[in-house]
Every structure is written in structure tokens, then in C-alpha cells.
Chain A
Amino acid sequence: QQQVKQSPQSLIVQKGGISIINCAYENTAFDYFPWYQQFPGKGPALLIAIRPDVSEKKEGRFTISFNKSAKQFSLHIMDSQPGDSATYFCAARGRNQAGTALIFGKGTTLSVSS
């Protein structure tokens, strides 16, 4: 039972373009939504996270947009660079259940062409 559905599976974007990755969740108890970035041979690293009481959070070129009613959230990478080429995972967990599992999507492999 997949609780966090991520799309697309892969994405090719030209340098300078906008990369958009989408996630949808089912469990209304989820209240914490991070995005992780993973390079080959490395563990996932936290990129950005959002609380559901805001609709958008921006950190540099990375923005999370959150739609609570639709139970969807997305990652936007502005001015995509070749160094952004990596696998991106959305995740979710109950905000006040910090001891329970962080549930991950299946990932999106992003390739930024120069």
C-alpha cells in the first residue's frame, strides 16, 4: 500500500528551465512533508520541508507548493542546473508523530542537460 505517490518517474529539463515534481498522499494524518535529494552512491539529504499551515515555502531556487484540500504537494526547481541532476524523493509523516516512520515516494530521476 503506497501512501505517497510521486510523479513523474523521470524528468529531463534543459539548463535554466523549471523542474516540477508532484506528490499526492492519502493519509490525512500526514502533517509534515519534506523533500530529499539523493546523488548516486550517497544517502538522501534533506532539501526542503513544509508545514501544511502554509501553501508555499521557498529556499533559494527550490519551492514547495502545498494544496491541503487536494492532498498534493510539489517541488519546483527554478533555473535548473546540471548539478541538480539527482533523484528526488517526497516524503510524509504525522507532524506530531516524530517517532513513526517517514514514508517516501518512489522517486524522480532528474537530468538537467547543458
Chain B
Amino acid sequence: DTGVSQNPRHKITKRGQNVTFRCDPISEHNRLYWYRQTLGQGPEFLTYFQNEAQLEKSRLLSDRFSAERPKGSFSTLEIQRTEQGDSAMYLCASSRDRQDSYNSPLHFGNGTRLTVT
């Protein structure tokens, strides 16, 4: 179990640029989640994949955000035309495919910290 891996760890970009983050989940986990965390706040749900299917999206996920999980393995989160308000830690989590939440806890990566200047 190598854990959830996220790259890059840090990204600094200028307003208006596009950025893409990558998440590699734990290998046997079918479910993958993206969260956003700003300073002093708890993680906020963005979107969720079951294998390659994107099953749920938060209202926080504006049209400038897009997430993919080709072949149900790694996932990418792209932000187009970044704004200063996008500055945050973007967290990826994965879990097993179990109906019972108690038996399918979320395992988080260490996140990608985005700074938009």
C-alpha cells in the first residue's frame, strides 16, 4: 500500500493560466474523490468517480474545472483561466468499493497546493 500520490506538490501560476493536477489512487481502490481545502477550513467536496464514471459533482465545481479518470486509474483535475480565488490545497482521496461507508474509509493524499498570483 503506497498510499494516494498527488503531483505536483506545489504549483504557482499567474491568473488566467490553466493548470492540471494528477492523482494516483491506492491501486485496489475503485472510488476517487477530489476535495478543495482553504486555510482554516475543512475539506470541501468537488467531485467523485466510481472507476471511470464521474458520478457526482459539487456546485463548487464551476465550468472552469474539469476532472477525468481515464480507464479508472489515475485522475486529473484541470482548472482553466485560473483566478486568485482558486488558490487552495487540492486533495485527492480514494476508497474501496463497499456499500457500507464504515468499511470503505477515505484515504487522502498530501495534496497539491495551488497559488494563483
CA distance A41 to B108 in the complex (A): 12
Is B41 part of the contact surface with A, judged by Cβ < 8 Å? Answer: yes
Provide the residues of chain B in CB contact with A61, threshold 8 Å: none
Choose one: A34, A94, A98, A101; the contact of B58 (CB below 8 Å): A101
Decide: B42 and A43 in contact? CB cutoff 8 A: no
Decide: B101 and A97 in contact? CB cutoff 8 A: yes
Provide the residues of chain A in CB contact with B110, threshold 8 Å: 41-43
Within 8 A of A (CB), among B70-117: 91, 93, 95, 98-102, 104-111
CA distance A32 to B104 in the complex (A): 11
| Total B residues in contact with A, Cβ cutoff 8 Å | 30
Decide: A102 and B50 in contact? CB cutoff 8 A: no
Decide: B50 and A99 in contact? CB cutoff 8 A: yes
The size class of the interface chain A forms with chain B is: 20 to 34
Provide the residues of chain B in CB contact with A112, threshold 8 Å: none
Residue of B nearest to A91 (CB): B42
Residue of A nearest to B48 (CB): A99
Decide: B45 and A95 in contact? CB cutoff 8 A: no
Is A17 part of the contact surface with B, judged by Cβ < 8 Å? Answer: no
B 25-50 binary contact with A (CB < 8 Å = 1; else 0) = 00000010100000011111100101
Chain B residues in contact with chain A, CB under 8 A?
Answer: 4, 31, 33, 40-45, 48, 50, 55-56, 58, 91, 93, 95, 98-102, 104-111
A and B contact pairs by CB, cutoff 8 A, 19 listed = A32-B102, A36-B108, A43-B91, A43-B93, A43-B111, A44-B108, A49-B105, A89-B42, A89-B43, A93-B101, A95-B100, A98-B31, A98-B99, A99-B50, A101-B45, A101-B58, A102-B45, A102-B101, A106-B42
